[in-house]
């Protein structure tokens, strides 16, 4: 499955999606339901107030969360689909003990997203990946990566706003 996005667009999207604080916010809401905004710091104590604010602003700006009256921050459909992508990526990484046999959920997700971004960036015009310098531990691991890769491409196709690389504003 090929991607209609440029290398810069894929890298921009993955950089945004691989943010540890965004991963933590999305997966916490996915796992436990809506979070009242005033309880964010207590529920995600490992994130600074700056990280929480930035993750929340990013999630709002890209349509991943919304404020449900009386409930707090909840995932939108796009946010739920992103949580599914994060879960698939983490399962793949855990199964293949990457990036290390023991590590955080967000580290696993970031490792897989980075790997997928590099593979999509090296995809040839015919849709086949170019040989990747960093080989996976086994052919089975390579084959298992198809699901997270497909989920990422489908998610990006449904959410192209995430790939938009903003142009720097001209100096006055």
One DSSP character per residue, 1-22 reads: ----S-HHHHHHHHHHHT-HHH
pLDDT of amino acid 132: 47
133 band by pLDDT with thresholds 50, 70 and 90? very low
Residue 126 phi, psi (nearest 5): -85, 5
Q: Please, which contacts does 156-161 make with residues 24 or more away whose CB atoms are closer than 8 Å?
A: 156/3, 156/5, 156/10, 156/13, 157/3, 157/4, 158/78, 158/81, 159/62, 159/63, 159/78, 160/5, 161/62, 161/63
- Among 39-48, 57-66, 76-85, 118-127, name the one with the lowest average pLDDT: 118-127
130 band by pLDDT with thresholds 50, 70 and 90? very low
Predicted TM-score (pTM) of the model is 0.86
Q: List, in sequence order, every residue forming a beta bridge with 75; answer none if it has no partner.
A: 65
Q: Give percent above pLDDT 90 in the chain.
A: 73
């Amino acid at each position: 499955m090929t991607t209609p996005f440029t290398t810069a667009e894929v890298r921009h999207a993955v950089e945004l999606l691989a943010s540890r604080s965004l991963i933590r916010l999305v997966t916490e809401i996915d796992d436990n339901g809506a979070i009242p905004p005033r309880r964010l710091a207590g529920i995600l104590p490992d994130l600074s107030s700056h990280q929480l604010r930035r993750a929340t602003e990013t999630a709002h700006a890209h349509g991943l969360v919304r404020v449900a009256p009386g409930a707090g921050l909840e995932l939108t459909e796009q946010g739920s689909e992103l949580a599914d992508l994060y879960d698939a990526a983490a399962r793949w990484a855990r199964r293949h003990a990457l990036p290390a046999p023991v590590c955080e959920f967000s580290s696993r997700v970031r490792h897989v997203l980075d790997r997928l971004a590099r593979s999509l960036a090296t995809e040839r015009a015919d849709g086949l990946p170019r040989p990747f310098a960093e080989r996976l531990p086994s052919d089975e691991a390579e084959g298992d990566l198809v699901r997270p890769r497909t989920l990422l491409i489908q998610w990006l196709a449904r959410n192209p706003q995430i790939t938009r690389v903003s142009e720097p504003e001209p100096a006055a």
